[in-house]
Each structure stands twice: as structure tokens, then as C-alpha cells.
Amino acid sequence: YEPDNLESISKQYALDGMELVHDAKIAFEEMAKTAKKENLNIIAMSTYRDYNYQVKIYKQYVRADGEEKADTYSGRPGHSEHQTGLAVDVYNGKVNYTKFENTKEFEWMQEHASEYGFILRFPKGKEKETGYTYESWHYRYVGKDIAKYIEEHDISFEEYYATKIKDW
């Protein structure tokens, strides 16, 4: 799958070459711009990935940690949310992305991401539901209404899907 409406994110808010689908890109730039007004940096460091790139990185993870462990933190090729153009990994440009939860930017994202239609995709304590380890840096655009619902009910996207979309 390759989205047909990918757009480059402004270099003010992203590393070079980062793309999201139109609605996600607009929302992300608006969110990052608002954070910047509060002297916070929300920077997109990994966004859309094509199938071949996902093959490459998944193989690297399997070589490093084995398939079973890699499957807890990386989508297999054809199954990664990054291939949808809706997922974005962020950092603040100062500390390694794996330490994002220790930043003021993370605190701000926890409070405001849903206002822009984003959810923390793999939240702490929801590993059983999501099938993935906690990732403080991985966000997904789902739209404002769904993001607010997920936040208000403290559920994962999988739990939302199971109750709101599956039988829809």
C-alpha cells in the first residue's frame, strides 16, 4: 500500500524528507507550531515508510534481536503503520527519541496531541492489547473525535476498534 496524497512536512518541524498524508501533515504542522510557541520542539523523525524500507529495517531488527523480539517493537513489512502515512515518530532534537517520555515535549503531547487528532499509539500498560512494547515517541493520526474518545476513555486504538469499528 502506498498513499496517493503524501505531502512533505515543513523542515521547521521535521527532519528532511518526512511525509504524511495530507490531513495528518496539516494537523502535525499545526501541533508542532503551537508547541514551538511554548518553546517546545516536536520534530518528526520518522513518518511514511515504503514497503522496501520497512523490509530493510525489519531485517536489521531481526538480525539484532531475533524475530520474536523484533515483532514486539516493529511492524513486519506490509503491516507497519508507517506505511499508511498516518504514523509519526517524534523527538525534541535534544535527547534520543527513546528518552522522549522524559521531556517537556512528551508532557505537552500527553496533554494536547488529541486536540490535533493524534494518539500515543503504543501506550504504557497496553502492551497486551496492542501487541507492541510501549513507545513514547510513536503517534498516529486518527482525527480529533476519535483521538478525544480514546484519551477520555484511556483505551488503546485496538480497544477502540474492537468496540466502535469492528461491528460498524
What lies within 8 Å, CB to CB, of 63 at 6+ separation is: none
- Treating both helix axes as pointing N-terminal to C-terminal, what angle do 104-112 and 22-37 enclose, rounded to 10 degrees? 120
Lateral strand order in the sheet of 135-141: 43-46, 87-91, 135-141, 118-122
User: Pick the catalytic residue: 127, 135, 151, 158?
Assistant: 135
Catalytic-residue membership of 68 = no
In eight-state DSSP terms, residue 113 is G
What lies within 8 Å, CB to CB, of 159 at 6+ separation is: 126, 129, 153
Q: Of 75, 48, 58, 63, whose CA–CA distance to 132 is shortest?
A: 75
Q: Which are the catalytic amino acids?
A: 135
